[in-house]
Amino acid sequence: MQKGPGVRTFFAFVLAIIILAMPAMAGSNQPNGAYGYITIDRTTPEKHLATFLAAVDRTELRMMAREWARNFYDAWLYPEISDQETAEIELLKKDVLDSMDLSGLPEWRRESAGLETAFMLWEILKAEGVTKNTAFRKMRDGLWVIPGTYIQVGTIGSGMRMGDVVFTADMVANVPSLYDAIVGTGNTQGFSPYRYFTETPGGLMPPRWAGVSQKLPAFLRWDFGSNTVFQWIIAVLILLAVLAISVAVGNIFRKRGLSWFAEAVTLGLLSLYATTIVIDQAGLSGSGATFMTLVFMTLFYGAMIVCVLIVGEWVGNWLSTGLMKSDKTFDTSIVHLATRIVSAMAALGIVIYGISAAGVPVYGIIAGFGVGGLAVALAAKPTLENILAGVILFLDGSIKVGDTIDSSPLSGTIEDIGMRSTRIRAQDGGLITVTNSELADKVIKNVSRRVTRPDGGSSTSAP
């Protein structure tokens, strides 16, 4: 016999009353409203475990209630979240994340990956029969383990939270493999907060529109790389949209430099915003979130590098024009070389910062170049020689842009002296490119500096 709408409404009403009344049943004298019944205490392993389990239990209850409300009425949208519920969820999230040492994760991954780890760890503890009354065994000072398991906790050794007990960084790193071995990715019995968090668009609590994803065909909800096909489609569409919009903006401008600059600025801004959409709205998690975030970070920092190089070239041209107006004898190539060197150093700084932000210990790698520095220096020797040769050509004053030289086969008018090479326009219109080091070693006959002799003839000044 099927239950009628009245019976279903009655049970929904009872469940809502229970959820709202839980804080009051936990003790009316507790502070902080609905969150006050959880005592945050990490002074001992046992108290830390009780705090962690209580926080995740409460979070799971919120998830179950939200999904149950949508599923019960077979709704296309999730119900609205009140301000009080939002505040409680944020506090619970902070408590859950503070229960783990996330120093082994890059900063941009700590919230998303930390929540995934917490839910996997919670399911592992449930599968192992661990409760808030489970005792720990001390392995050494500042490190404890639950007997018969791989669950380890330790104390924080420095900082404002020194002495707090948390799940260790090694424990956090091993949680995914433990989850696969103990719980299993194919486990579908009961409500799984980890699967709900990773397979539902949005953050800890999915937005209203995320209910539509539950109405999609089954193949769009298949698991693929720790995410659903639906989530991957959203991520790929966002990536394609970012690239297409950037190219479209660049095509508005006819000048190549301005077009590249507009395209780079658009790409950088959209990539920065798209990362938030992919993680917070599409709900991409795990290795998928890491991959797509790195893709957008690469686009963002790459766009910044292009902008810096283009702006450096513009600044060089502007300075050269201004100095030429005030001093007709000024060599503009010096300004161009200086601005290019500054732009290249700024671009290198962006590369180093971007690699560091991605979680790669780039500063440690740079410090370790003391051993391999000789090999790097030898590999970069030709480039360094050309840069130094270009500086020497400027300081020596033997040539400058606009001079005509006759040092066969390098004969023609100098058009540009760059960081690595010099470009010479030959008399037949061809362009000759020669490295600065090679040009500096040659005997240069500067035809433009020929002087007139008293007898009406001419001679050529020394190079």
CA distances 268 to 272, 298, 319, Å, are 6, 9, 27
Is the pLDDT at 75 greater than 60? The verdict is: yes
What pLDDT, in 10s, does the model give residues 29-58? 444 444 445 678 899 999 999 999 999 998
C-alpha–C-alpha distance, residues 148 and 201, integer Å: 36
Q: Which two tokens stand for residue 165?
A: 């007990």
- pLDDT score of 25 more than 60: no
Return the CA Rg of the chain. Answer: 33
My answer on whether omega of the bond before 31 falls inside 30° of 0, hence cis, is no
Tell me which DSSP letter residue 78 carries: P
pLDDT confidence tier of residue 375, bands split at 50, 70 and 90: low
Of 227, 239, 105, the residue nearest 175 (C-alpha): 105
Q: How far apart are CA 223 and CA 198, in angstroms?
A: 10
* Every domain of the chain and the residues it spans: 15-215, 227-367, 383-460
CB 33 within 8 A of CB 90: no
Look up tokens 């000759």; give the residue: 432
Low-confidence winner among 21-25, 181-185, 286-290, 455-459 (lowest mean pLDDT): 21-25
Q: For residue 381, name the pLDDT band (cuts at 50, 70, 90).
A: low
Q: How far apart are CA 331 and CA 386, in angstroms?
A: 19
**Distance, CA of 410 to chain centre:** 48
What kind of fold does domain 383-460 have according to CATH?
Answer: SH3 type barrels. (2.30.30)
381-400: average pLDDT: 71
CA angle 430-435-439, nearest 5°? Answer: 90
Who has greater pLDDT, 333 or 257? 257
Greater pLDDT, 226 or 302: 302
- 3-state secondary structure (DSSP) of residue 43: coil
Identify the top-confidence range among 114-118, 352-356, 366-370, 395-399.
114-118
Q: What is the per-residue pLDDT for 68? A: 85
pLDDT of residue 249: 92
Whether the pLDDT of residue 63 is over 80: the answer is yes
pLDDT category at 6 given cuts 50, 70, 90 is: low
Say what percent of the chain tops pLDDT 70: 77
| The token pair that represents 196 in the structure block | 């709900």
Q: What does the angle CA 68 – CA 70 – CA 73 come to, to the nearest 5 degrees?
A: 100
> Would the pLDDT of 134 be above 90?
yes
pLDDT higher than threshold 90 for residue 262? yes
pLDDT for 26 equals 42
Residue 351, classified by CB atoms within 10 Å of its CB into exposed (0-12), middle (13-18) or buried (19+), is middle
The predicted-structure confidence for 436-461, as pLDDT tens digits, reads as follows 788 777 777 777 777 665 555 555 44
Q: Collapsing DSSP states into helix, strand and coil, what is residue 129? A: coil
Q: Please report which residue ranges of 284-331 form alpha helices under DSSP H.
A: 286-326
Tally of helices (H runs) and strands (E runs) in the chain: 14, 12
Q: What is the rounded CA–CA span in Å between residue 194 and residue 173?
A: 16
Task: Report the alpha-carbon distance of residue 123 to residue 255 in Å, rounded.
Answer: 58
Residue 191 pLDDT > 90: no
| Residue 164 confidence class, pLDDT cut points 50, 70, 90 | very high
pLDDT for 171-188, tens place per residue?
A: 999 999 999 888 875 555
Contacts of 286-290 with C-beta under 8 Å, sequence gap 24+, read 286/113, 286/116, 286/198, 286/225, 286/226, 286/227, 287/225, 287/226, 288/225, 288/226, 288/227, 288/231, 288/232, 288/235, 289/109, 289/112, 289/113, 289/227, 290/109, 290/113
- Band of pLDDT at residue 2, cut at 50, 70 and 90: very low
Residue 83 confidence class, pLDDT cut points 50, 70, 90: confident
Tens digit of pLDDT for each residue in 396-449?
667 777 788 877 777 888 887 777 788 888 888 888 888 878 877 777 777 777
> DSSP secondary-structure letter at 277?
I
Average pLDDT, the chain: 78
Higher pLDDT, 42 or 285: 42
Task: Report the Cα 372 to chain-centroid distance in Å.
Answer: 28
Following DSSP, what letter does each residue of 161-198 receive, concatenated?
Answer: TTT-EEE-HHHHHHHHHHHHHHT-TT--SS--HHHHHH
**Would you state the pLDDT for residue 144?**
95
Instruction: Count Cβ atoms within 10 A of the Cβ of residue 416 and give its class: 0-12 exposed, 13-18 middle, 19 or more buried.
Output: middle
Buried b (16+ CB within 10 A) or exposed e, 182-212: bbeeeeeeeebbbbbbbbbbbbbbbbeebbe
Query: How far apart, in whole angstroms, are the C-alpha atoms of residue 40 and residue 51?
Result: 6
- Taking the C-alpha atoms of residue 229 and residue 233, their distance in angstroms, rounded to an integer, is 6
Has residue 130 got a pLDDT over 80? yes
Range of lowest pLDDT (55-64, 114-123, 331-340, 448-457): 448-457
Q: Does 24 have pLDDT greater than 70?
A: no
H or E, element range at 366: helix 362-367
pLDDT over threshold 70, residue 313: yes
Please state the length of the chain: 463
Residue among 377, 379, 302, 34 at smallest CA distance from 26? 34
| Section 90-119 average pLDDT | 88
